Amino acid sequence: MSDLKMRIKTEALRLGFSHCGVAQNDTLEQLRPFYSAFIGRNGHAGMQYLETNFEKRLHPELVVPDTKSVIALLWNYYPPEIIPEEDNFIISKYAYGVDYHGLVRNRLNELINFMKLSCGNIRAGAFVDSGAVLEKAWAQKCGVGWQGKNTLIINKTAGSFFFIGIILTDLILEPDTPETDHCGTCRNCAEACPTGALDTSYQLDIPRCISYLTIESREEIPAGLRSNLNDRIYGCDICQDVCPYNRFATPHQTPAFLPSEPLMNLRKKDWIALSETDFNTIFEKSPVKRAGYRRLMHVIQMPPPIQT
Tell me which residue of 126, 188, 191 sits closest to 159, measured CA to CA: 188
SS (H, E, C) 156-204: CCCECCEEEEEEEECCCCCCCCCCCCCCCCCCHHHHHCCCCCCCCCCCC
Q: Write the DSSP assignment of the chain as a string of letters.
A: -HHHHHHHHHHHHHHT-SEEEEEE----GGGHHHHHHHHHTTTTTT-GGGTTTHHHHH-GGGTSTT--EEEEEEEE---SSPPP-TTS-EE-GGGSSS-HHHHHHHHHHHHHHHHHHHHSS--EEEESS-SS--HHHHHHHTTS-EE-TTSSEEBTTTBS-EEEEEEEES---PPPPPP----TT--HHHHH-TT-TTSSTT---GGG-HHIIIII--SPPPHHHHTTSTTEEE---HHHHT-GGGGG------GGGSPPHHHHH--HHHHHT--HHHHHHHTTTSGGGGT-HHHHHHHHHPPPPPP-
List 154's β-bridge partners, or say none: 146
**Do strands 153-154 and 90-91 pair parallel, antiparallel, or not at all (unpaired)?**
unpaired
Q: Are 193 and 112 in contact (CB under 8 A)?
A: no
Give pLDDT, residue 64.
96
Q: Which of 129, 205, 241, 278 is catalytic?
A: 129
Distance CA 8, CA 75 (A): 15
Is pLDDT at 307 greater than 60 in this prediction? Answer: no
Q: Are 146 and 154 in contact (CB under 8 A)?
A: yes
Distance CA 92, CA 292 (A): 16
Segment 273-293 mean pLDDT: 96
Q: Provide the residue count of the chain.
A: 308
The domain ranges of the chain are 1-301
Distance CA 241, CA 229 (A): 15
Q: Are 105 and 17 in contact (CB under 8 A)?
A: no
pLDDT digits (tens, 9 = 90+) for 26-60: 889 999 999 898 888 888 877 777 778 889 999 99
Give pLDDT, residue 50.
75
Identify whether 170 is a catalytic site residue.
no
Rounded to the nearest 10 degrees, the angle between the axes of helix 2-15 and helix 100-119 is 150
pLDDT digits (tens, 9 = 90+) for 131-160: 899 999 999 999 999 999 999 999 999 999
Cα–Cα distances in angstroms (integers) from residue 120 to residues 5, 126, 163, 182, in the given order: 15, 17, 28, 39
State the average pLDDT for the chain. Answer: 95
Is pLDDT at 306 greater than 70 in this prediction? Answer: no
Is pLDDT at 24 greater than 70 in this prediction? Answer: yes
Q: 35-44, 84-93, 162-171, 247-256: which has the minimum mean pLDDT? A: 35-44
pLDDT digits (tens, 9 = 90+) for 78-92: 999 999 999 999 999
What pTM does this model have? 0.94
